[in-house]
Amino acid sequence: MSFFRVRKVAFINFGLLFIFLASWISWYIYPLARTITKEFSAYEMTDGSYEYGMSEELGFLAEHVFYGKVSYAAVPSLFGGSNIPFFDKIFFQLNGDTKCTFVLYVNDEILDEMAEWYDFSAMNASDVPMEVRAVKVGDKYIVKSMISTEGELSWEFLMDGYHFYWCFMGVGLVGLMFMFGLVLVVVGIVYKPRQVVEQEQSSDVE
């Protein structure tokens, strides 16, 4: 009986583990997902019609534009340089404004292409004037595009080509993990050892 009891507890524990991991990953995905939902919100135009902002032309309705030079940049110590979507990101500030922090979600490929015209770790990084377009989520600004006199990280390349794809993949992964964990918990709760089932059937016959 102890063997069946251990199996029952294992089902519940693994189910709770999957649910916890799904919640943890969703916490990292939320800023990007919220950025996309803000872009896809309906906006009332001057002629009374409604348009959706999932395009560069309409995306400006949900974004903020900033101009200045990078005064501070940092990479999270835990997942910095890991090249894992949602976890690998860069925090930076402009013009010494500590109340306005930007978050740039990138991978190694994007950083390599950016290095041709801008590198956060370069000695002259604070001398390059920059235009940053971002969407505010909570107390941070999620970067949608960056433009300097030397190059550009465009909306199509960053948002459409990277953020949207990995956000879709991440939401799918979170959904699968949550459902699998929930199934394990339910199975663990309703699971009955074969011996117990046989005893119940024999008692019903008597």
Please report, as a single letter, which amino acid is at residue 52: Y
Question: What pLDDT score was predicted for residue 121?
Answer: 84
DSSP string covering 80-149: TT---TTT-EEEEEETT-TT-EEEEE--HHHHHHHTTT--TTSTTGGGSEEEEEEEEETTEEEEEEEEES
Question: What pLDDT score was predicted for residue 35?
Answer: 82
Read off the tokens for 76: 């999270």
What residues have CB less than 8 Å from 17, skipping those under 6 apart?
181
* Distance separating alpha carbons of residues 80 and 174, to the nearest angstrom: 22
Question: What pLDDT score was predicted for residue 116?
Answer: 87
Cβ–Cβ < 8 Å for 42, 52: yes
Give this prediction's pTM.
Answer: 0.74
Neighbours of 137 (CB within 10 A): 17
Q: Which residues of 158-193 are buried (b: 16+ CB within 10 A; e: fewer)?
A: bbeebbbebbeebbeebeebbeebeebbeebeeeee
Question: What pLDDT score was predicted for residue 1?
Answer: 46
Please report, as a single letter, which amino acid is at residue 186: V
DSSP state of 47: T
Q: What is the mean pLDDT of each run of 10 residues along the chain (206 residues)?
A: 63 93 91 79 46 46 81 79 80 91 88 87 87 89 89 84 86 94 89 54 50
Question: What pLDDT score was predicted for residue 101?
Answer: 92
Question: What pLDDT score was predicted for residue 87?
Answer: 83
**Within 13 Å and on the Cβ side, how many CA atoms surround 117?**
13
Question: What pLDDT score was predicted for residue 125?
Answer: 85
* Distance separating alpha carbons of residues 32 and 138, to the nearest angstrom: 12
pLDDT tens for 77-108 read 667 667 788 888 899 999 988 889 999 998 88
Cβ–Cβ < 8 Å for 130, 124: no
* Distance separating alpha carbons of residues 195 and 95, to the nearest angstrom: 71
